[in-house]
Structure 1
Amino acid sequence: MKKFALITGASGGIGKEIALSLAKDGWNIYLHYHQNRNEIEVLMRSLQPFSLEIIPIQADLSSDEGVQKLVSNIFSIDAIVFSSGQAVYGLFQDLSEMELDQLWEVHVKNPIKIVQKLLPKFYRLGHGNIVFISSIWGQTGAACEVMYSTVKGAQLSFVKSLAKETARSGIRINAVAPGAVETHMMSRFSQDELELLTEEIPIGRLAKPYEIANVVSFLLSEKSSYITGQILSVNGGWYT
């Protein structure tokens, strides 16, 4: 029987690795992206050898229209992985109202709306799986990333609460909280800053995107059938 997963932010460094990992596990995939069509086309070519249904969906998840466009293009669905979003670095007092709104909408409000709209499909199936890619900063907070930490923390509260409500319906909801990962998001830091950051991590290096994807693959598998409402930290021992 075919199984379908939606990955939001599939054009990003972690999203692409999640898509590759799930394809290896036999998942058919909806690849959501906003602007980076080129990366999605490259990813689709990489997924061709798996002979699966790969469905790209362009949508701006900072808008109500984008949410509706995404949801209206989802038919059969067994799992959702939320990996889209962006960070804003700087003093909290300097953030614009637009930046505050976008972070809230992309990371919290609209993912919640997507879950709310797609949950009936899971209830009808009698099963479902949802994974949020949150952040270490949602667990412990970070100066100069106050709003990002706030929205990532909100994701974790949502996961813990909704997991209790849906568990007896066969729907599992979990989150992965990565630390520093080798993606484009780290490009704003200088080499010296990255070296100082690496020294703080007990394992002594940044995570590879595929290491986050491996955890998602586990959470969407039967190997994690008794796990729900949990936050899996993947941070090299940086925060425990």
Structure 2
Amino acid sequence: MIALVTGAGSGIGAAIAERLARDGHRVAVNDLHLKAAETVAAGIRDAGGQAHAYAADVSDDAAVDAMMQAVRADLGVPEILVNNAGFGHQAPFLEIEPADFDRIFAVHVRGTYLMTRACLPAMIEAGQGHIVNIASQLGQIGGVELAHYAGAKAAIIGMTKSLAREVSTKGVRVNAVAPGPVNTPLVAALSEDWKTAKKAELPLGRFGEPAEIGGVVSFLCSDDAALFVGQTLGPNSGDVML
């Protein structure tokens, strides 16, 4: 299959792209920065996989359309879409500027919408496809000084459930993954006080690793996950127990 992973130039996205390539998929590696995407794609090729790199801001309609044209020309029509693009921003609620709020929602929520809109018609036509949206456990429980980020992730979970109800009978399975803290540049940018306090709350006593999230996405894109529809899986070190 052809898999498109957004925000795959580092961290969780890179690990997902690498795992899907090891599973035998041809991977379109997207990132806002072409150099980062090219580095990940080159690593996949060096390991014997197939990958191409694409730069695009997933919150921009025109950029998404241009990228999709390039992906189709190079690889074909994506049958797997992983909406992972995102970034973190930490601030007390009253210090969150409207521009910060809007950008968080633009990348996380609008980006998920635009990418899904671009890939879904072909999946429906083919009668098969997998969409995995990367949310966060903060979308389930909230986070101090992360109201805008948690709100965006909660929106992704709601979108996942709604879309799954709409397209599952058409052969397209839509699910979400809500990781807990993972050792990525995004988490590294948060305050040391937050990281220390959060780690102490976790039953496992540690943050996750990107490759562990890649394994969850791999499962959701496999036949073993055939009964998973509209689900939010939680590799979160025990932070949320459902």
* TM category, shorter: over 0.9
How many Å apart are 1:221 and its aligned residue?
A: 0.6
Cα deviation per residue 1:139-197 (whole Å; 9 max; x = unaligned)?
Answer: 11112100111110000000001101111111000000001100111223455653332
Is 1:125 the equivalent of 2:126?
yes
Cα deviation per residue 1:36-63 (whole Å; 9 max; x = unaligned)?
Answer: x333333223212454431211111232
Is 1:174 the equivalent of 2:172?
no
How many Å apart are 1:92 and its aligned residue?
A: 1.9
- Greater Cα shift, 93-102 or 139-148: 93-102
How many Å apart are 1:95 and its aligned residue?
A: 1.8
Residue 71 to residue 17, structure 1, CA distance change in 2 (3 Å): same
Q: SS in structure 1 opposite 2:27?
A: strand
Is 1:140 the equivalent of 2:145?
no
Conservation of the 8 A alpha-carbon contact between 1:178 and 1:212:
yes
Task: Give the TM-score taking structure 2 as reference length.
Answer: 0.92
Q: SS in structure 1 opposite 2:178?
A: strand
Q: SS in structure 2 opposite 1:178?
A: coil
Match of 2:19 in 1: 21
Match of 1:213 in 2: 214
Equivalent in 49, 52, 60 of residue 63 of structure 1: 60
Q: Size of the alignment, in residue pairs?
A: 237
Q: SS in structure 1 opposite 2:150?
A: helix
Note the aligned Cα RMSD (angstroms): 1.6
Quick one: distance in 2 between partners of 1:92 and 1:6? Answer: 34
Residue 80 to residue 192, structure 1, CA distance change in 2 (3 Å): same
Q: SS in structure 2 opposite 1:29?
A: strand
For structure 2, the 5+ residue unaligned runs are none
Conservation of the 8 A alpha-carbon contact between 1:12 and 1:84:
no
State how 1:94-105 maps to structure 2 within 5 Å: 94-105=95-106
Conservation of the 8 A alpha-carbon contact between 1:129 and 1:171:
yes
Conservation of the 8 A alpha-carbon contact between 2:38 and 2:52:
no
Moved over 6 A (4+): none
Task: Give the TM-score taking structure 1 as reference length.
Answer: 0.93
Q: SS in structure 2 opposite 1:131?
A: strand
Conservation of the 8 A alpha-carbon contact between 1:14 and 1:212:
yes
Residue 38 to residue 114, structure 1, CA distance change in 2 (3 Å): closer
Conservation of the 8 A alpha-carbon contact between 1:201 and 1:238:
yes
Q: SS in structure 1 opposite 2:71?
A: coil
How many Å apart are 1:103 and its aligned residue?
A: 1.1
AA in 2 matched with 1:20: E
Quick one: distance in 1 between partners of 2:29 and 2:159? Answer: 23
Residue 191 to residue 87, structure 1, CA distance change in 2 (3 Å): closer
Match of 1:153 in 2: 154
Match of 1:109 in 2: 110
For structure 1, the 5+ residue unaligned runs are none
Quick one: distance in 2 between partners of 1:150 and 1:158? Answer: 12
Provide the identity percentage: 32
Q: SS in structure 1 opposite 2:120?
A: helix
AA in 2 matched with 1:163: A
Conservation of the 8 A alpha-carbon contact between 2:85 and 2:111:
no
Quick one: distance in 2 between partners of 1:137 and 1:158? Answer: 16
AA in 2 matched with 1:53: Q
